[in-house]
């Protein structure tokens, strides 16, 4: 029954379920190519209210710097704002905490 409901939602143009399904995989380890593919998939199904934010994250994730020695990450303000908007959407609409984050072992993050 749940599958039928999800299929109906998808057929009606509601991409929130698809977005949430992809967002839930954000903690999987990815290389650079995998991160690009992840954001492209998210962007393709992002609901209108956060589509621009997901685009900003896709275009800006490489601008985030991770200093060695445990310092705080540095990122452009627009990337921080987009990340916060997506975080809030994921918490409210997808039903899980944590937003969308990446695990990239080759850069130590």
Confidence (pTM): 0.70
61-100 pLDDT, tens per residue? 777 655 566 666 667 788 888 888 988 999 899 987 766 6
Residue 66 and residue 58: Cα distance in Å, rounded? 17
In DSSP terms, which residues pair with 74 in a beta bridge?
Answer: 65
Q: Over 70: is that where the pLDDT of 102 sits?
A: no
**Cβ count near 37 (within 10 Å):** 12
Q: List pLDDT tens digits, range 25-46.
A: 888 888 888 888 998 999 999 9
Domain ranges of the chain: 15-107
Residue 10 has pLDDT above 60, yes or no: no
Per-position DSSP letters for 15-36, written without gaps between them: -HHHHHHHHTTTTSB--HHHHH
């Amino acid at each position: 029954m749940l599958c039928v409901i999800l299929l109906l939602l998808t057929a009606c143009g509601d991409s929130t379920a698809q977005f949430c399904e992809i967002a839930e995989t954000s903690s999987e380890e990815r290389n650079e190519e995998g991160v690009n593919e992840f954001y492209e998939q998210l962007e393709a199904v992002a609901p209108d209210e956060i589509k621009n934010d997901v685009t900003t994250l896709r275009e800006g994730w490489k601008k985030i710097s991770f200093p060695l020695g445990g310092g705080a990450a540095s990122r452009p303000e627009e990337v921080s704002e987009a990340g916060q908007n997506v975080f809030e959407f994921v918490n409210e609409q997808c039903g899980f905490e944590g937003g969308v984050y990446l695990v990239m072992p080759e850069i130590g993050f």
